[in-house]
């Protein structure tokens, strides 16, 4: 089967990490930036308190704080990553913390264009919510994409409105469908983030969610297992309703993930399969002591052992 994968490399899934190497012949490394954004479900525009799973302190790099300028964060990020990724020949400024389009358009111009002015930055990765973009913002990003690499990443989390309500998301799945389609229609590379194991979602429901993902024009997606993070409202909900939660062990997650990936369409690039949280923040009641690179090797070895691959069970719409 190796020679007939449609993504032009020998891994058993369409790896996002190989995309820029194939497109530009070089590796591009993300540099996380905290530009001081907030979210509409923290400011009270839609909700208060934020999403029940969210604590940005659990994943922000140490150099990444909003009291520093965009330029300084980029410089420190380059130094932070340079020893580890010596083959990187360009950088993408990753506006990561909270909702990075949740500001007036003039403010977005100033922040994004400061990042793009750095000589080693070739583009932007913008993480945001689907209810934090409109046609004006999407038109502006489409204009930037004519000269720079622009990746727009939406936190989707679930395709089920009941789950979105449970985690205090503040928007429905229809908002995600609109945002993804409008962004892709403008030629933007659109990513989506999904959490596997949200309270109340069965394994069969999560597998059925692949149908909704396949129908949307995503360029790439990230998948994360549910984790219980210190300082979040989900900790309180779990203590009240532990029977509603399903936390995967690494072996269980790998077995489930294979079923999930088998159902994803082959042209969809997969950027990440699991999340890592510093031990000080991780309250998940299931042991998960694997570094991501070790987890990924085990996942790929299991794909090999099962002789399966991304899209094996995918059926295109008639």
| Best CA proximity match to 300, nearest among 3, 4, 6, 9 | 9
Model confidence pLDDT, tens digit, residues 40-57: 888 777 777 788 988 877
pLDDT digits 0-9 by tens, 261-274: 999 999 999 999 99
DSSP 179-215: HHHHHHHTT-EEEEEEEET-TT--HHHHHHHHHHHHH
**Considering the entire predicted model, what is its pTM?**
0.92
pLDDT of residue 261: 98
The pLDDT of residue 84: 65
- Which tokens hold the place of 8? 């032009």
Query: May I ask the CATH architecture of the domain 13-306?
Result: Alpha-Beta Barrel (3.20)
Residue 2 in this model has a pLDDT that exceeds 50:
no
Spatial distance between the Cα atoms of 38 and 50, rounded to a whole number of angstroms? 10
Q: Provide the 3-class DSSP secondary structure of residue 101.
A: coil
Helical (H) or strand (E) element with 221: strand 220-225
The packing angle between helices 292-306 and 250-262, to 10°, is: 60
Which range, of 21-30, 127-136, 215-224, 286-295, averages the lowest pLDDT? 21-30
Task: Measure CA 146 to chain center.
Answer: 23
Largest CA distance in the chain: 53
pLDDT band at 318 (very low <50, low <70, confident <90, very high): low
Could you tell me the CA-to-CA distances from 248 to 98, 166, 196 in Å, in that order? 26, 20, 9
Do 66 and 36 touch, CB atoms closer than 8 A?
yes
Enumerate the domain spans of the chain: 13-306
Task: Summarize pLDDT for 82-91 with one digit per residue, the tens.
Answer: 776 665 568 9
What are the pLDDT digits (tens) for 57-79? 766 666 778 889 999 999 998 98
pLDDT of residue 1: 46
Confidence category of residue 24, pLDDT binned at 50, 70, 90: low
CA–CA dist 108, 127 (Å, integer): 13
Residue 279's pLDDT is 87
The yes-or-no verdict on residue 316 having pLDDT over 50 is yes
């Amino acid at each position: 089967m190796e020679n007939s994968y449609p993504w032009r490399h020998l891994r058993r899934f369409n790896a996002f990490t190989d995309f820029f190497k194939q497109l530009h012949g070089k590796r591009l490394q993300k540099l996380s930036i905290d530009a001081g954004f907030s979210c509409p479900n923290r400011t009270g525009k839609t909700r208060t308190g934020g999403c029940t799973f969210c604590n940005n302190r659990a994943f922000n790099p140490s150099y990444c704080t909003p009291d520093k300028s965009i330029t300084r964060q980029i410089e420190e990020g380059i130094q932070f990553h340079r020893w580890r990724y010596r083959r990187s020949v360009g950088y993408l400024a990753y506006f990561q913390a909270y909702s990075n389009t949740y500001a007036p358009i003039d403010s977005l111009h100033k922040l994004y264009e400061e990042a793009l002015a750095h000589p080693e930055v070739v583009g932007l990765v913008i993480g945001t919510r689907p209810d934090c973009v409109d046609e004006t913002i999407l038109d502006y990003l489409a204009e930037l994409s004519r000269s720079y690499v622009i990746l727009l990443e939406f936190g989707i989390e679930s395709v089920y409105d009941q789950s979105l309500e449970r985690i205090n998301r503040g928007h429905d799945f229809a908002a995600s469908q609109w945002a993804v389609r409008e962004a892709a229609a403008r030629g933007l590379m659109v990513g989506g983030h999904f959490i596997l194991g949200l309270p109340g979602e069965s394994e069969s429901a999560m597998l059925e969610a692949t149908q909704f993902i396949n129908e949307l024009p995503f360029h790439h997606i990230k998948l994360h297992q549910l984790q219980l993070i210190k300082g979040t409202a989900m900790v309180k909900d779990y203590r009240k309703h532990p029977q509603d939660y399903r936390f995967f062990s690494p072996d269980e997650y790998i077995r489930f993930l294979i079923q999930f990936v088998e159902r994803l369409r082959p042209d969809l690039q997969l950027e990440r399969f699991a999340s890592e949280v510093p031990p000080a923040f991780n309250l998940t009641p299931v042991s998960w002591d694997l570094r991501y690179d070790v987890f990924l090797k085990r996942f790929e070895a299991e794909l090999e052992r099962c002789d399966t691959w991304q899209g094996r069970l995918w059926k295109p719409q008639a």
